[in-house]
Amino acid sequence: MKIPFSPPYIDEAVINEVVDSLRSGWITSGPKVKSLEEEIKTFSGAKEVLCVNSWTSGAIMMLRWLGVKEGDEVIVPAYTYSATALAVLHAGAKPVMVDSGKNFNISVEAIRNAITPRTKAIIPVDIAGFPCDYDQIMSMVQEPKIRGLFQVTSAVQKKLGRILVMNDAAHSLGAFYSKKQRTGCETDIAIFSLHAVKNVTTAEGGAICLNLPEPFNNEDLYKELRMTSLNCQTKDAFSKSKAGGWRYDIVGMGMKINMADVNAAIGLAQIREYPSLLKERKRVFETYDKAFTACDWAITPPSIDGEKESSYHIYALRIKDFTEELRDRMIDEIAKSEVAVNVHFIPMPMLSFFKSLGYDIKNYPQAYENFKGEISLPIYPQLNNEQLDFIIRTVKSAYNTIARDSIF
C-alpha cells in the first residue's frame, strides 16, 4: 500500500474557487486575497492580517520594519526549520540560537539566559502545531529588568519600548492557546505559513497577524505593510487597472512579496472547510496516540496540555534510546512498505551553512535529543482507517526489526 507523506487537500470546492479566479480575468493580488485575509482574521482573532507570498518573506519584512541592523540579535530556537534563522540574517541581524524543551518548543529559561542589550526580538516556534508558553514569554519581555536592558535604535523600537515577540506560527493555524483563543493573537506578531504541506495552503504563501499594543494602530500598520509588500507603490495593480487609475508613486524601498488571487483561492476554499478538516487531522493523531502509547519504546508528541491544544500538523513520534543511525535504519525499513515518513527537524546547528557561522549542536543537547529519535508520520484528512492500520503495523514492524538486529 503506497502512502504519501503530505499530499495537499484538493476537493471540488478548491478547484471551483481557483477556476472562478481564472475566469474572472484577475489572477494577481485582488479581491480573493482580501477575502482570505478576512477569513484568517476572523478564524484566528488577530486584529489585522496581511497575506504575502511566503512565511520567510513576511518575517524578513517585519524584522526590517522593526529596524534591526548589523549587531542586533534575535533569539530563535535551534530546533526549527532554517527559515526562522535565515529571515533574521536576511534582515541584517544575528540569530541567537537557544535550546528546546522536551516538548520540542523553545525553552523559556534558555530565552531568558540569552537576552542581552542587543536583543531586539524573540521568535518562538510552535513546533508541529503545539503552542509555546506565550504567557511566560510575553510576561518576561514586560519585566522591568528586561525592559531596562532594551536599547532603542529605531523609531518603531522606541514606540514599542521593549523586545518584540513574533510567533513563528508556521505550523499552528487552528491551534488553541487557551480554550477561547486560537494562535495568531497571543503575541505582537504571528506569521502562519500557507505552504503546500500546511494544514491550509495557498501552494506558497504566508499570513502576517498584527496584534501590536497601543500606541500602534494595527489598521494603519496593515495599510503601510500592504504597500511595503508591493514595492512601496501607492496603488496596487487592481486599483491601477481601473479606468483613469494609472498614476502612482513609490514612497520607499519596499519588497515584492504580495500574494496572488489565484493562490489565495486555494486557501479561501480550504479555510472555509477547515473546522471539519481539523477534526479529521485530530482523528488521525488520536489513532496514532492510541496505538503507540501502549508501546514502551515510543514517546508520543504533545497535543493537549491544560488549555493549549495542537493544530495536529505533524505527528512527531520519538523512539526511546535510538541513535541517529538506528532511527535512519528504521526509516529505511518503513520505506520498504512504501510508507513515506519524514524527520522534523534537523537542528539548524547541524546544517552546513550554520556550522560555517560557528553554531555547534553540542550547545543544544535537548534539541539533539529530540531530533535523534524523531520520525514524523503521515497526518492528513484523506487518511482512512485501513491506511492508518497499515502505517501503524508498518512502524511497529520496522521497530521490531531494527530492535531485534541491534544491541543498544
Percent composition of the chain: helix, strand, coil (DSSP 3-state, to 5): 45, 15, 40
**Is 198 annotated as catalytic?**
yes
- Position 214, amino acid: E
- Contact yes or no for 326/406 (Cβ under 8 A): yes
What span, in angstroms and rounded, lies between the C-alpha atoms of 268 and 34?
10
Closest C-alpha among 186, 80, 58 to residue 133: 186
Active-site annotation holder among 41, 47, 120, 198: 198
Cα dist. 129→3, 192, 243, 285 in Å? 22, 11, 45, 12
DSSP secondary structure letter of residue 301: P
- Contact yes or no for 183/175 (Cβ under 8 A): yes
What span, in angstroms and rounded, lies between the C-alpha atoms of 318 and 391?
15
Phi, psi of 363 (to 5 degrees): -85, 0
What span, in angstroms and rounded, lies between the C-alpha atoms of 56 and 244?
36
For 177, the grid coordinates are 492557546
What span, in angstroms and rounded, lies between the C-alpha atoms of 175 and 321?
30
Listed in sequence order, the residues at least 6 apart from 4 whose beta carbon sits closer than 8 Å to its beta carbon are 340, 378
What span, in angstroms and rounded, lies between the C-alpha atoms of 344 and 350?
13
What span, in angstroms and rounded, lies between the C-alpha atoms of 376 and 379?
9
What span, in angstroms and rounded, lies between the C-alpha atoms of 238 and 365?
51
**DSSP per-residue string spanning 10-52:** --HHHHHHHHHHHHHT--SSSHHHHHHHHHHHHHH--SEEEEE
Residues marked active site are found at 198
